[in-house]
């Protein structure tokens, strides 16, 4: 579906028709990527009691505008998007308000200029400038943010900024801080093709590069490289610089109030499992799932294991 936000079209894959009355799973991609990295997860969770938003960040995929330069700005943008589409609205506002449901049902088919402003928002308080989107609704913490790599930093920052809205956090392939080597930053600025080739190699485990994964008939490194190649010029350097500059991680961790599940690949050469272990020790009510022989591109290399870890995070027995 497409939604107009701040005058720009935002693209998100929903699997099925988006229903704001349901608990919402929000999938946030990493640097130089778009929603397509989540297709195994979208297919798995669609129609299983959740609404889904696999978003294209600004300037990525089919979303308009320029890429935002900081993790903090991206977190504010994400919270504004959730408010715009009504994610996290209570059942009384969504299920029993025919006007609201009639207007939201057509959001994916309306032009950007014609799309309506929904009445409900994504939780307690709106980011600056979005108060008008929130209306007078009451909210529940039934939003789960699921972020990969750069997307995990966005999810962390958004959950910390809106503790009353986010009920669950899943961080995949994450490290806080997430430094980027100066040589890679320079390559991303001066020779995107070379930088993408390096990242594509590092993103996959040795087994993944050899094709020893469960997705028969698919060449995962080739698919990943194509996703990267279709992003706009300049996006890669912008994203890597945003990750490198993010220093608010410790403060965000201190403000978290929801359970956190971390998923790490033991063969991840970009965000090491050691970094995930250190981070898990810093987060209250956290759980770390380690996947053997899996690299950074774990949603594609080990989709069944990643989906199972997300399901466990959503289970009622997960600590609250």
CA distance 165 to 29: 20
Q: Which residues are within 8 A (CB) of 89 and not within 5 positions of it... i.e. 6 or more apart?
A: 20, 21, 120, 121, 137, 139
Residues 18/51, Cβ–Cβ less than 8 Å: yes
Looking at the chain, the number of H-run helices and the number of E-run strands are 15, 8
Complete domains list, the chain, with CATH: 2-314 (3.40.50.1820)
Task: Identify the band that residue 275 occupies on the pLDDT scale cut at 50, 70 and 90.
Answer: very high
Specify burial of residue 294 (Cβ count, 10 A radius: 0-12, 13-18, 19+): buried
Cα 172 to Cα 55, 168, 317: the distances in Å are 16, 13, 21
For tokens 């998100």, name the residue.
Answer: 12
Residues 195/187, Cβ–Cβ less than 8 Å: yes
DSSP H stretches of helix in 34-136 = 39-45, 71-85, 91-94, 98-105, 131-134
Edge-to-edge strands of the sheet including 2-5?
Answer: 2-5, 8-13, 51-55, 24-28, 143-148, 166-172, 260-265, 286-291
Q: Which two tokens stand for residue 305?
A: 């294991």
Task: Identify the band that residue 124 occupies on the pLDDT scale cut at 50, 70 and 90.
Answer: very low
Q: Which residues are within 8 A (CB) of 244 and not within 5 positions of it... i.e. 6 or more apart?
A: 178, 179, 180, 185
Measured in whole angstroms, the distance separating CA 315 from the mean position of its chain's CA atoms is 20
Q: Which of 57-61, 218-222, 271-275 has the lowest mean pLDDT?
A: 218-222
CA distance 223 to 227: 6
Q: What confidence score (pLDDT) does residue 246 get?
A: 98
Task: Identify the band that residue 203 occupies on the pLDDT scale cut at 50, 70 and 90.
Answer: very high
CA distance 47 to 142: 16
Per cent of the chain over pLDDT 70 is 80
pTM: 0.84
Q: Convert the pLDDT of each residue in 26-82 to its tens digit.
A: 999 999 999 999 999 999 999 999 999 999 999 999 999 999 999 999 999 999 999
- Cross-strand bridge partners of residue 28: 55, 147
Q: Convert the pLDDT of each residue in 86-122 to its tens digit.
A: 997 633 333 323 333 333 333 333 233 323 232 223 3
Mean pLDDT over residues 227-244, rounded?
Answer: 98
């Amino acid at each position: 579906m497409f939604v107009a936000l701040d005058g720009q079209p935002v693209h998100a894959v929903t699997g099925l028709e988006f229903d704001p009355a349901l608990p919402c799973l929000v999938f946030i991609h990493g640097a130089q990527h778009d929603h397509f990295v989540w297709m195994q997860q979208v297919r798995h969770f669609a129609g299983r009691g959740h609404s889904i938003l696999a978003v294209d960040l600004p300037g990525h995929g089919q979303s308009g505008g320029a890429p935002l330069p900081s993790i903090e700005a991206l977190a504010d943008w994400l919270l504004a998007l959730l408010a715009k589409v009504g994610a996290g609205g209570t059942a009384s506002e969504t299920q029993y308000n025919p006007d609201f449901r009639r207007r939201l049902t057509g959001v994916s088919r309306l032009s950007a200029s014609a799309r309506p402003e929904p009445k409900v928002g994504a939780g307690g308080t709106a980011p600056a400038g979005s108060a008008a989107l929130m209306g007078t609704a009451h909210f529940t913490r039934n939003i789960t943010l699921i972020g990969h790599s750069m997307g995990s930093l966005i999810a962390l920052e958004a959950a910390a900024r809106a503790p009353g809205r986010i009920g669950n956090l899943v961080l995949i392939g994450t490290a806080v801080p997430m430094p980027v080597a100066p040589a890679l930053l320079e390559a991303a600025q001066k020779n995107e093709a070379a930088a993408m080739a390096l990242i594509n190699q590092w993103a996959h485990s040795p087994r993944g590069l050899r094709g020893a994964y469960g997705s028969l008939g698919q060449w995962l490194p080739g698919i990943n490289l194509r996703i990267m190649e279709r992003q706009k010029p300049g996006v890669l350097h912008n994203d890597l610089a945003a990750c490198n500059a993010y220093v608010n991680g410790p403060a965000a961790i201190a403000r978290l109030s929801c359970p956190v599940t971390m998923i790490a690949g033991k063969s991840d050469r970009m965000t090491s499992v050691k970094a995930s272990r250190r981070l898990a020790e810093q987060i209250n009510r956290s759980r770390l799932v380690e996947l053997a022989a899996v690299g950074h591109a774990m949603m594609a290399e080990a989709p069944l294991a990643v989906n199972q870890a997300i399901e466990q995070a959503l289970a009622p027995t997960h600590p609250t």
